[in-house]
Amino acid sequence: MSIDVSEAAGVRYLHFGSDWIQGAMRIARPFALELDYTREMMLPLLLRAADWPRRVLLIGLGAGSLTKFLWRYRPAAKLTVVEIDPRVVACARKFFKLPDDPQRIKLHIADGADFVIQSQRQFDLILVDGFDANARAGRLDTTVFYLDCKARLAEDGLLCVNLLSRRKDFSKSVTRLIDAFDGHAIDFPSCDSGNAIVLAAAAETTAVPPAPTFTELSEATLALKRDTGLNLLPTLSRLTQSRHLSGGVLRF
C-alpha cells in the first residue's frame, strides 16, 4: 500500500494508494475538521459536560484530524492513538501538523483490535476510524471487536464508529453494534461521501447523565460552535429526522 498526499483548492488530502480520501486538512485551518464525517464524529461532545472526555482512545490516525481537534479544544484530555502503519504517523507529522506532545498524545503502532483486547484501561470516549486502501475495516467491524470496546468504556463512556461502504449499505454493521451494546446505539443516515456514523453507550447506570432534550442539545451545539468553530447544527437537524429524537428527547 502506498501513502499519497495531494492538494487542491487549499485542502491537503491523504490517500492510501487510491482515490479514496483517508483524511483532509484545510491548510489555513489545520485544527478544523474539513470532512463532514469527522465533524459528525464529534457528536458525543454534545452529550456530556464541557470538560469531557478526559481519556480518549482513537483507533486509526489517518491525517490526524480528530486527534488534533481534541488536542486543541479539550486541553484536559489524554489521547491514546493506535495506528497500524508507522508511515501514516510519519505522514501526519510531516504533512498534516500532528502535534508532538507525548504528555497528552500517546501513539501506539499496533493493530487496533489487538490493542483493545490487551489494554486494561478505561476510556470515556472511543473513536474508531480505521480502513485499508480498499475501504475495508476488517476486524474493526465485528461483534467481537465492539464487545471488546464496550469492555474498555467507562460507565458513562461512548463509542463512535465511522462506517464506510462502497455500497452504502451499513445495515449489517449497525446490527452488530446494536447487538454488542444491547440496543443502546444511534445510527445516522449515510453522508453524501458514503460515510455513516454510529454512536453507542456503554450502559444505563446511575453514572450516565439523563437523556438530553432537543433544547439541551441545541444549547450544547451553539456553545460548541462558539468555543471551537465546529458547527454541528446540520447534524442536529438530521438527528431530529430520525427515530432517536422522538418526543424531543435523545434516546439510545
Active site residue 169: no
Please answer whether residues 25 and 92 qualify as being in contact, where contact means their C-beta atoms are separated by less than 8 angstroms: no
Total residue length of the chain: 252
Q: Which SS3 state, helix, strand or coil, does residue 86 take?
A: helix
Dihedral of the CA atoms 236, 54, 152, 157 (nearest 10)?
Answer: -30
Rounded to whole angstroms, the Cα distance separating 200 from 204 reads 11
Select which of 51, 85, 124, 129 is catalytic: 129
H-only helix segments in 23-124: 36-40, 65-73, 86-95, 112-118
Bond preceding residue 53 cis, omega within 30 of 0: yes
Catalytic residues: 129
